[in-house]
Structure 1
């Protein structure tokens, strides 16, 4: 207990999945947490659950595609709790129906994903950093993705936006490290959030499992615990890094599982 005691954290996309897990773990370890989400009711209900378990949290509305809304979330955090020590830029969108290959991608969808997945991270940092400087430092964590490192048959906008998050993390760390502000990212592979469980068939999950180095899929708390580590002083000499939390899915030559089967 107490790994982030008396720190104030803003977590975006916190009503469910990875954001909710991170908010719960931060609160459990002593942080005062602002849960911000487009699903305002979900964010407020989650905050109420945290308070019922002895933590301190509030839920607020956030439209990550609206820069003013992102700014307001930062300012609301500071006005309510007096400071901001931890910013977790977690909001991200993907759309496999419109975010296709280079030739067939919907260009409006490209703009939408760049705005939500990348620009919102910039804006969150832009408005949180001055408060962190005034407060003597802070920790920023961004949600990247393994799609930012490896290509796919579709989702070119998603992959490009997440690659941007990886590089923006380095720029932020470089530009504000002397102010005692660290910036790191976490790159999830397949994580069995409620949304993933509800939208992925057993066949698809088995295909992912085949190529994992580990014999199980990731859970939201696997990311949440990484976020907690990066938010805490345990990681005080780590900055500019993107930690890949993906079960070894991208670790080996992709033919390895097939050859193992062939030579049984």
Structure 2
């Protein structure tokens, strides 16, 4: 059994100004229970099973942001990055960012573990699409769980080699997953309708959603850059869109990914 720790540190600029930049960094490590010592001990990257590699090797934020709005950071007046988890405040944070920086045209998805509020997350996705913003996952970028919905929202979606994605089933506040509901129930249509809004044909939306649900909430399906290109129609090879096998049982995805409730 392993557990993951990810610490984000924010160092505010010391000079007084109307808008102070923040420098963000992420330190990540895994602890493993040592029954002999009776305590958790830190393990090295080499000792970790592949299924529990949660963050890519390049999670260090590369430059100071000129403004920060929750998990959204403005790199320059035309480009923002997503680093962290979206929550119920994400639509307000994203709207404030666009209000202050209306020329933002691209969202770079660097380290995106998921969301704490699916419906708010989808609202941000619709805002991304309405604003005509491009979503880009760079080499080393990691887009997981609910963050995949934000990637799909891009008016244009760009994936560099070496990017990674992870998907799994959602889990509601009662512990139910998609399989507990009829395929066309409101709970499942919420996602299918969103994928259709983001440009997928009905059959493709159903196929993609079914693929994400091959992994239970506690598991994950890991996708390479090439895998995801196939799902969004950016591969010439019609056989390139394959369903990835689920990872080994019980991989962890950092943070709380898909917690939501239905009326």
TM superposition score normalised by structure 1: 0.33
TM superposition score normalised by structure 2: 0.33
* Larger strand share, 1 or 2: 2
Question: 1 or 2 for the larger relative contact order (CA 8 Å, sep ≥6)?
Answer: 1
